[in-house]
Amino acid sequence: MGQTPFELSRDHEEFRRTVRAFAESEIAPHAARWDREHHFPVDVVHRMGDLGLFGLTAPEEFGGAAGDFTSLCVAIEELGRVDQSMGITLQAGVGLGINPLVEYGTREQQERWLPDLVAGRALAGFGLTEPEAGSDAGSTRTRAELSADGTEWIVNGAKQFITNSGSSITSLVTVTARTGEREDGRPEISAIMLPAGTPGFTAEPAYDKLGWHASDTHPLSFQDVRVPADHLLGTRGRGYAQFLATLDDGRIAISALATGCVQACLDHALAYAGERQGFGGPIGRKQGVAFQIADLQVMADASRLLTYRAAALKDAGAPAGAVKQAASVAKLYSTEAAVSATRIATQVFGGYGFMEEYPVARLYRDAKVLEIGEGTSEVQRMLIARGLGLPVE
């Protein structure tokens, strides 16, 4: 029989084993401490770069592997299986930091920024969300005006919930900003690259988050931030459309992160059910526990199949509408499955599941944001309905 449409290739499975070995040796032993101390492990980011994880989809001329999107999803899933914080660090670093530069950057921009980003020596952020513009990202209030001589952009505004935006190795954040008004009266939104350390660009103190404690996340403020005019990314007035396309890809990657979370819940619950003794034997012999673990297997399989179907469509160059629909379906199912899976796994552990010494407690806290970032579940349902031809507002 030939390979089924969404079965990973032998190369992908070999790559999975490589990333899993790295994650279990370099990340898993320290994840609980990083979470407890809210520590962002820059040294591990560098080692992820040494392994080539940040360069998976980047061109070879900049040190990348010129690989497919499926490989990136495999890496994110395996990192997320042991630590969701490191999984989102890779997802945002590549999907939101590197890929927009690859897709829309000029040759000069790519030569300046990509080598360090691809090598894991630096990180880039993606600034879309604002205090008054979350799911309604078109209501961006951040503004960028050209100087009188046309040589600089002057940026004022704020962004929030921005990953990889304030670490010691953050090199730039690309932000959406109003750069004028369209003929129909709507705002013209463009993407501007702001190097870290530029006067007026401030990464405010890191958030005290429910989960993802080892991930770098900050609110940002811009007060008369001046950058050269050539820091425009892509076409003027197309910044919002560019970021929406970036989010379509990001939803597939978040689905991979959620799949890793579901798989971790299955792994931990299955092991615990076989070890924990109660009522004269392991608790896994009781249907009340066994059936819950069976549900986790279904969630893991369904999440993985939906995720890699979407990735396969992207890699095959399928029409944008088909990729968008598949990405939203995968993101909606897998992230809601992850939240349910952490609840089930915690229940299997009983009272111990409520204790931070067990990883299911950390997974429980980490999972909720998966239903929010890269477009909420409500946004995904809206997009799916529109893809079906329904005139949803």
- Cα–Cα distances (Å) from 207 to 26, 210, 219, in that order, read 25, 9, 8
Positive or negative, the Cα torsion across 314, 3, 295, 356? Answer: negative
Beta bridge partners of 193: 174
* Residue 62 near residue 133 (C-beta atoms within 8 A): no
**Is the dihedral angle over the CA atoms 317, 321, 325, 331 positive or is it negative?**
positive
Write phi, then psi, for 326 (nearest 5 degrees): -65, -35
* Calpha distance 177→191 (Å, rounded): 6
3-state secondary structure of 181: strand
Contact (Cβ atoms closer than 8 angstroms) between residue 271 and residue 316: no
- Return the CA Rg of the chain: 21
Say how many CA atoms lie within 13 Å of 242 toward its Cβ.
29
Interatomic CA distance for residues 347 and 352, integer angstroms: 9
Nearest-CA neighbor of 155 among 195, 111, 186, 205?
A: 195
- Write out the two tokens for 188: 């013209």
Task: Count Cβ atoms within 10 A of the Cβ of residue 251 and give its class: 0-12 exposed, 13-18 middle, 19 or more buried.
Answer: buried
374 is catalytic: yes
Distance, CA of 132 to CA of 96 (rounded, Å): 21
Within 13 A of 188's CA, how many CA atoms are on the CB side?
Answer: 12
Instruction: Choose, from 77, 152, 371, 374, the residue flagged as catalytic.
Output: 374
Crossing angle of the two packed helices 359-367 and 239-275, in degrees rounded to 10: 150
Catalytic residue numbers?
374
